[in-house]
Structure 1
Amino acid sequence: MIEIVQSAALNTVQDAGRTAWRHLGVSVSGAMDALALRAGNILLGNAENAAAVEVQMFPFRVRFQSDTCFALTGADCRARLDGVELPAWWACNAREGQTLELHYPRSGARGYLCIAGGIDVPTVLGSRSTALRGGFGGLEGRTLRQGDVLKAGTSAVRSLPACGMGIEPPEQALHAAFPRSDEGRVQVRAIPSGEYALFAADAKRFWQQPWKVSLQSNRTGYRLSGEPVLPAESVELRSYGLIPGIVQVPPAGEPIIQLSDANTAGGYPKIACVIEEDLWRLGQVQPGQSIQLVQSDAQGAVTARKAMEGWLQRLRDSITPFKNVVGL
């Protein structure tokens, strides 16, 4: 078990989300960086979908109420265990009474605290993820606060190597498959969709100019600031189903990328859809930072998926030697 000693707004319990209920108006929710969630759980021998704590507001502190193992992935949150600094993307043992603290990230936006056995909160509609707008899932459907106690599920892990173990972050390990621009901006691949043809006059600029993630952004969607892109004519659309990744363009012309807590239906024209394989990168972009949208296609998404799954498989293979020692 872990006790929340200090937490700011918006820190929640998340797993991979609930994908089978959009037709009833239930958003997916789930981790904004699903790759970090999967990797942290693999390090601990958990199911890859096991629930973890998504930390996006700092500082964040927890106290371990029993001996366990944990993994930190996602943003480099300058973690310290009883004052001893820990590397990013690291898994290690924790003793009863020890305190873990996370601070504003050196890089990235969201850190993930995975616990051996996963966070054990009730399953709602097939997921333990917190749906804040619906007020269900996670811990009582709300953000975490001081005094909360989170139980861990059953785990076969007894302990990790005494020195701990870490992995190379995907931003470095997969830099060829998930590039940045020459200016260091995250390049986000998207496929033209829906009403793309309506934006013919501005379509070229949609891909060429950098877009700043507005401060008016959250888990529902990222609003992009830049020179507006506008349709050639005004159109009235029926509402259609939304999924994370769809890029809508409101009348003001500044696109909105739907994300984990995306609405399930909407009517703004859709100019593109970010490939699912790049959504984890968006989850690590902080408001105020800029991204570059890159036109892609289905084959580009397949290539990115192969690279991502290959990295995860290498991670699974790398912990195999420890299985007989630590009970993974």
Structure 2
Amino acid sequence: MSAALRLFSAGPGVTVQDGGRHGFLRYGVTGAGPMDPLAHALANRALGNPAGAAAIEISLGGTELTVEGAPVTIALAGGEFQVTLDGQALPPAVVTRLEPGARLKVRAGSAGVWCYLAVAGGLRLPDVLGSRATHTRTGMGGLDGRMLQAGDILPVGMAAGEIATGRIVAPLLDRPTESIRVLLGPQDDYFAPDQIATFLAGPWTIGSRSDRMACFLEGPRLSHKLGFNIPSDGVAMGAIQVPGEGLPIVLMADRQSTGGYPKIATVIGVDLGRLAQARPGTCIGFRAVSHAEAVQARAEEQSFLSGAITIERLLRSLFSPEFLLGLNLVDGWVDARAPA
């Protein structure tokens, strides 16, 4: 019997995202994909899915859903979200089984902006230009090119084999924001050395306008040595543009395909999720690294994802007192003092 996820609720920004729509920037088609590529890949890898398989990207608005038709195994990874299954609290990074009718709730917790819900067997949705990633500004991909909403049904593919359940052990998800690594350029020559020093010294605060398209930074205003207009060229996720007002803008997953402001630096791929998980008002800093250091960081991340993902069995100590009191642990008692 086929299975499907049915959504009871979905806050703003909840979409379907896979590894991204690549190879079409020359035609003005944005890649989209996950805001936190590491967490997205980890949730999939914990289930034995390809790292870039389609999953639900959950924003601070959260979601609530159930499964219909047949049991499914799901994995969650990302920020420190609050997760409950039929009222029982679960770790924020976890693999668990959903029986038909069970209610899973994911809500914003103590930290992080994005959480990923992957399903064993993947989500059975049509490809658009080879990808299921949602880009809402163009209405492309995912479920009708839009954010998910209450009543949506997402068909699930067939999973192969048994999957271990429990807490996902992933120290790489503990990523402080005090030192986000960047490669200077490609237009760092548009800024005098003292302005580059100011950029690296900060401090910077994540602005309230930040979304999937860009992360707006608040802090010292940078000045340009050679003006703030350049011939438009292609932009990568993580490129840091500095427009005329002098406040940097970090381009994210839903960025435009080209930009005409000088790019003082680019966040390295491994640290994109670190930045994406910083909530508005968070103070962050940047650190310039070499190309070799960026490549080494990527190699370490890929080594982690390609190896065996550690799943730690959930212990009874993780269960709430309310849950334990609700269990029928004994069905009677005997007074040992009473005569036989």
Report if TM-score (shorter chain) is over 0.5.
yes
Residue number in structure 1 paired with 2:262: 269
Residues 208, 148 of structure 1: alpha-carbon distance in 2 compared, 3 angstrom cutoff: same
Deviations 1:150-194 (A, max 9, x none): 011221144545xx342234134xxxxx6x4xxxx4321111113
> Would you say the 8 A contact 2:91–2:167 is kept in 1?
no
Residue 67 of structure 1: CA displacement?
Answer: 0.6
Residue number in structure 2 paired with 1:17: 20
> Could you tell me which of 64, 67, 75 is aligned with 2:67?
64
1:50 and 1:205 mapped to 2: Cα distance?
40
* 1:36-51 equivalence runs, <5 A: 36-51=39-54
Which AA in structure 2 matches 1:101?
K
Which AA in structure 1 matches 2:168?
G
Residue 290 of structure 1: CA displacement?
Answer: 1.7
1:157 and 1:23 mapped to 2: Cα distance?
41
> Would you say the 8 A contact 1:193–1:272 is kept in 2?
yes
Unaligned runs of 5+ in 2: 312-340
Deviations 1:70-124 (A, max 9, x none): 0010012110000000012110111110000011122211011111111111111
Residue number in structure 1 paired with 2:338: none
1:254 and 1:23 mapped to 2: Cα distance?
28
Residue number in structure 2 paired with 1:194: 186
1:313 and 1:28 mapped to 2: Cα distance?
23
Residue number in structure 1 paired with 2:224: 231
1:95 aligns with 2:87: no
Residue 245 of structure 1: CA displacement?
Answer: 1.2
Greater radius of gyration (CA): 2
> Would you say the 8 A contact 1:50–1:117 is kept in 2?
no
Residue 235 of structure 1: CA displacement?
Answer: 4.9
1:107 and 1:236 mapped to 2: Cα distance?
37
Residue number in structure 2 paired with 1:132: 136
> Would you say the 8 A contact 2:14–2:62 is kept in 1?
no
* Secondary structure of 2:8's aligned partner: strand
> Could you tell me which of 282, 290, 312 is aligned with 2:283?
290
> Could you tell me which of 156, 167, 170 is aligned with 1:168?
170
> Could you tell me which of 284, 295, 308 is aligned with 1:302?
295
1:25 and 1:169 mapped to 2: Cα distance?
37
Residue 233 of structure 1: CA displacement?
Answer: 4.0
> Which 4+ stretches in 1 moved above 4 angstroms?
none
> Would you say the 8 A contact 1:213–1:222 is kept in 2?
yes
Residue number in structure 2 paired with 1:260: 253
1:140 and 1:114 mapped to 2: Cα distance?
19
> Would you say the 8 A contact 2:78–2:173 is kept in 1?
no
What TM-score comes out, normalization by structure 2 length? 0.86
* Secondary structure of 2:91's aligned partner: coil
Residue 304 of structure 1: CA displacement?
Answer: 0.8
Deviations 1:265-313 (A, max 9, x none): 1101111111112112112111211211111120110121122122223
* Secondary structure of 1:207's aligned partner: helix
Residue number in structure 1 paired with 2:115: 111
Deviations 1:238-284 (A, max 9, x none): 11111111110010000011111111011011111111121121121
Unaligned runs of 5+ in 1: 173-177, 320-328
Residue 23 of structure 1: CA displacement?
Answer: 0.3
1:221 aligns with 2:221: no
Give the root-mean-square deviation of aligned CA atoms: 1.6
1:242 aligns with 2:245: no
Which AA in structure 1 matches 2:209?
Q
1:199 and 1:85 mapped to 2: Cα distance?
50
* Secondary structure of 1:106's aligned partner: strand
- How many aligned positions are there? 306
Which AA in structure 2 matches 1:54?
E
What TM-score comes out, normalization by structure 1 length? 0.89
Residue number in structure 1 paired with 2:201: 208
Relative to structure 2, which stretch is displaced further, 189-198 or 257-266?
Answer: 189-198
